[in-house]
Amino acid sequence: MTLHASLLGDRSASLLRRALSNRSFVIGLVIAVAVAAVALISYVWTPYDVTRLVIADRTRPPSLAHWFGTDHFGRDILSMIMVGARNSIAVALVAVGIGMGIGVPLGCLAAARGGMLDEAVMRLNDLVFAFPALLSAIMITAVFGPGALNAIIAIGIFNIPVFARVARAGALSIWPREFILAARTAGKGKILITIEHILPNIATLLLVQGSIQFALGILAEAGLSYVGLGAQPPMPSWGRMLFDAQTRMTVAPWMAMFPGMAIAITVLGFNLLGDGLADILDPRSRRRQ
Amino acid sequence: MSLLEIDNLSLNIGDQPILKDIDISVAPGEIMGLVGESGSGKSLTALTIMQLLPFGAHTTGRVTLGGIDILATDEERMCLLRGKEVGMVFQEPMTALNPLKTIGEQVAEGIRWHNRASRAEAEEQARIMLDRVGLPAEKFPLSRYPHELSGGQRQRVVIAIACALKPKLLIADEPTTALDVVLQVQILDLLRDLVTENRMGLLLISHDLAVVTEMTDRITILRRGEVLEAGKTAETLSRQRHPYTRQLAQASMHVPQRPVSPAQEKNHTPLLVVESLTRDYPGSRTAWLRHGEPLRAVDNVSFSMLAGQSTALVGRSGCGKSTLARMILALDRPSAGTIRFRDETITDKREHELKLARRGMQAVFQDPYGSFDPRQKVERLVTEPLHLLEKAPSRTERRNMAEDALAEVGLIPSDLDKYPHEFSGGQRQRLSIARAIITRPKLVVADEPVSALDVSIRAQILDLLADLNSRLGIAYLFITHDLTVARAITDDVMVMHAGRIVERGATKEILDHPQSEAAQALVAAAPDLHRALARKLQEQG
């Protein structure tokens, strides 16, 4: 701690202390790091090759050789979950990126300009919001064909209004502050003010929303690949594994259990991370701890 | 026997000592003033009496109210005492009321809860109480919501809530600090009348010595959580036995040293010319796509200012002062009229054409806490106006200019690497001034720059402003409702009322012989320590 204190200054040190004493943040962080690590490890090593089918070993229960058992083609489930993590993370990450990359500028623009533009942007948001996200994602992938890329785009589009709303609400609470008036008397235009003053002050809001949308993204990807519209075989994905397991629930329950647990734990982890971040970064919640 | 007795009260929050051995007593019907600067522990003393202390607070000593030991009372009994035995009036009438409840409900709430009165009975009592505080039901029905009332009217509602159950003790924490001087007098009169009517004890917390002198029988002066001096108001303030008491009194009456008006010697080119300026706001929406009568915030205002000459713009809250200032700073566009700054018309310019004008014209805002981006370091904040220069300065040039500006306002170069939260309110206002003068402007528009500051800090900032005026020839347009401030540093005064300028002339002339009704009201209401003390001395002998 003393090392951190000298490196980061008092303020960051107290932030770090608060972060480490927040249980949901720590648990969420551990899970998130673990999932990311598993996905990275899968690039260099997995217990078995996930594309090789060994029919002789099919639907084996968990054992020392196959910790999580094998599926109906004899593929190792642990290896599939490891490789599937890549896909889940990539889809969720890029989808959050699309949502933030388009939604945040839109929200900031709406807040900065106001008037008809604000009205137009927000009503467009309402329109996108009005469709159930998964249903529309199915529509998009059905039209443009299934695949990881289309899943990403579909989930990303539905992240846009979420970030646009959060960014707009945050920006609107910053605009009337006196330091914005001061920046305007310094001749700074709306774009410059948004970049220099508004964004840093709403960054924490966006970070919290980002981690929650990330969890939702993983869930949405699992849902899309469950109905066969996500990553295509032979690329393993958690949702597809669940689909394959469905008809074999009674004979091979481990086929459903482990991918299901992977999804549940990852989503839980990122939700906890988001909650924890919100607690740590919101000064009003400090007293409660 | 006194009503409230505080003996040897000490308060710690965490390991930090906040109050040390406080002794205060208030008798029935007596007004006790609690005076001190921010951070002296005034408000926490009040919260101790109410037992509304923040989490982690630890108290020792003895606080008795009408014979009940408050520190030993559990929360359940305390709920019965609050409101019934002690009432509290808060500083900020905008946030002290629940915006979703009508004023009638809010006054009746306590009556219903404590007296187990029926809804109708409670409402009747609320009606009487609101009538007593000057909000008769014919003009202000009980079904009004707080946002439909002005600041002064809201404070009356807060007082009605506090006094609804005729408590024995009323605590008023800076009850008039957020109000303009005319409202201040009205609210203080109301409080005094209520105290005499019901023989309540009043603990009046304030940083304003003039207000306290006028109102109180006895005062207690608090500094850093300790009682420095206590006694009869007139005696304590006139003898000024403790050096800190003298310092406080002098700071309240402080007038900065100014060399004889520098404006007279300089040329007579007008710096700022405002011609028939008007600003209308669209009226509130009465129906879908239909608006009510537009609201005229600034009404046909014309005036001019000479270089180096400082002008005060005084008026009550809501009279259009700030709207006028924002238009002059080109932050808002007028509905009609023109503003010329150094012979350049700025009202029809686009943002990027305004660079030159903005360089010559900067602003200092009221709230020293809100006027800095909390996530940037001082160096970036202070050099922000350098954006207006034609050629962007190099890094070292920026640093040097920032250091110079900080030196002008009495801060040191190492302050550049700090964040705004590391500074006190007074230091932040210095930073704000440093930011305003870094482009060497000719005009600084200052919107209530000292009204959020303690008296001693206020005196220092006024000195600084006067000094910058004489050394750098900066003219101020000084917006304030406080006439002592106007008297201290300006040559001219404009009195604004309901969007119009109703009187204009030399500061001393207008403050001593106001002609218009608006100016007379402001002058009569302005708290003045000399006058108040003289009157109190007569009363208390």
CB within 8 Å: B373 and A201: yes
Closest-approach residue (CA) in chain A for B384: A186
User: Per residue in B359-372, pLDDT tens?
Assistant: 999 999 888 888 89
- Three state DSSP letters for B27-49: CCCCEEEEECCCCCCHHHHHHHH
pLDDT band at residue B266 using 50, 70 and 90 as cut-offs: low
User: Chain B: nearest CA to A108, how far in angstroms?
Assistant: 17
CB within 8 Å: B355 and A177: no
Residue with the larger pLDDT of the pair B39 and B233: B233
| Cα–Cα distance, A105 to B96 (Å, whole number) | 36
Interface pTM, i.e. ipTM: 0.79
Residue A200 is nearest to which of B329, B362, B375, comparing CB atoms?
B375
Architecture in CATH of A45-288 = Orthogonal Bundle (1.10)
Q: Flag whether pLDDT at B263 surpasses 60.
A: no
Residue B329 is nearest to which of A178, A185, A200, comparing CB atoms?
A185
Closest-approach residue (CA) in chain B for A176: B370
CB within 8 Å: A187 and B354: yes
DSSP B393: P
Closest CA relative to residue B464, chosen from B414, B413, B427: B427
| Cα–Cα distance, A277 to A271 (Å, whole number) | 10
List per-block mean pLDDT (blocks of 10 residues) for chain A, which spans 289 residues. Answer: 40 74 90 92 87 82 85 88 90 92 95 91 89 78 80 87 94 92 90 93 90 90 85 85 88 90 93 86 54
User: Per residue in B467-504, pLDDT tens?
Assistant: 898 888 899 999 988 888 888 888 899 999 989 999 99
Mutate to test the interface with B, among A178, A201, A287 (most CBs of B within 10 A): A178
CB within 8 Å: B374 and A201: yes
Radius of gyration of chain A (CA): 22
Chain A contacts of B351, Cβ < 8 Å?
Answer: 187, 189
CB within 8 Å: B331 and A178: no
The answer to whether residues B228 and B222 touch, using CB atoms and an 8 Å cutoff, is: yes
CB within 8 Å: B388 and A181: no
B371-B310-B499 Cα angle (round to 5) = 70
The pLDDT of residue B276 is 92
CB within 8 Å: B388 and A187: yes
Chain A contacts of B355, Cβ < 8 Å?
Answer: 187
The answer to whether residues B368 and B407 touch, using CB atoms and an 8 Å cutoff, is: no
The answer to whether residues B523 and B511 touch, using CB atoms and an 8 Å cutoff, is: yes
The pLDDT of residue B261 is 53
Q: Which of A268-277, B16-25, B173-182 has the lowest mean pLDDT?
A: B173-182
| pLDDT, mean of residues B83-95 | 85
User: Chain A: nearest CA to B146, how far in angstroms?
Assistant: 22
| pLDDT, mean of residues B22-34 | 92
pLDDT band at residue B140 using 50, 70 and 90 as cut-offs: confident
The pLDDT of residue B380 is 92
Q: Which residues are registered as beta bridge partners of B280?
A: B296
Report chain A residues touching chain B, CB-CB < 8 A.
Answer: 11, 177-179, 181-189, 192, 196-197, 200-201, 287
Task: Name the 3-class secondary structure at B158.
Answer: helix
Residue A179 is nearest to which of B54, B358, B371, comparing CB atoms?
B371
| pLDDT, mean of residues B335-356 | 89
Q: Flag whether pLDDT at B441 surpasses 90.
A: yes
Q: Flag whether pLDDT at B260 surpasses 70.
A: no
User: Per residue in B379-426, pLDDT tens?
Assistant: 999 999 998 988 888 999 999 999 999 998 989 999 999 888 888 888
The pLDDT of residue A145 is 81
Two tokens, residue B493: 């005064």
The pLDDT of residue B374 is 87
Mutate to test the interface with B, among A185, A197, A204, A207 (most CBs of B within 10 A): A185
User: Per residue in B228-241, pLDDT tens?
Assistant: 999 999 888 888 88
Delimit the domains of chain B by residue range.
95-167, 262-532
Tell me how far the alpha carbon of residue A49 is from its chain's centroid.
27
The pLDDT of residue A50 is 83
The pLDDT of residue A287 is 45
Task: Name the 3-class secondary structure at B173.
Answer: strand
CB within 8 Å: A187 and B419: no
The answer to whether residues B225 and B201 touch, using CB atoms and an 8 Å cutoff, is: no
Chain A contacts of B370, Cβ < 8 Å?
Answer: 177-179
What is the enclosing helix (H) or strand (E) of B489? helix B483-489
Phi-psi region of B408 (alpha: psi -120 to 50; beta: other; left: phi over 0): alpha
| pLDDT, mean of residues B342-359 | 88
Q: Number of residue pairs across A and B with CB atoms under 8 Å?
A: 65
B366 interfaces chain A, CB cutoff of 8 Å: yes
Q: Flag whether pLDDT at B71 surpasses 70.
A: yes
Residue A182 is nearest to which of B359, B363, B386, comparing CB atoms?
B363
Closest-approach residue (CA) in chain A for B433: A182
pLDDT band at residue B139 using 50, 70 and 90 as cut-offs: confident
User: Chain A: nearest CA to B389, how far in angstroms?
Assistant: 10
User: Chain A: nearest CA to B162, how far in angstroms?
Assistant: 27
CATH superfamily of B262-532: P-loop containing nucleotide triphosphate hydrolases (3.40.50.300)
Residue B351 is nearest to which of A183, A189, A287, comparing CB atoms?
A189
Tell me how far the alpha carbon of residue B84 is from its chain's centroid.
30
CB within 8 Å: B387 and A201: no
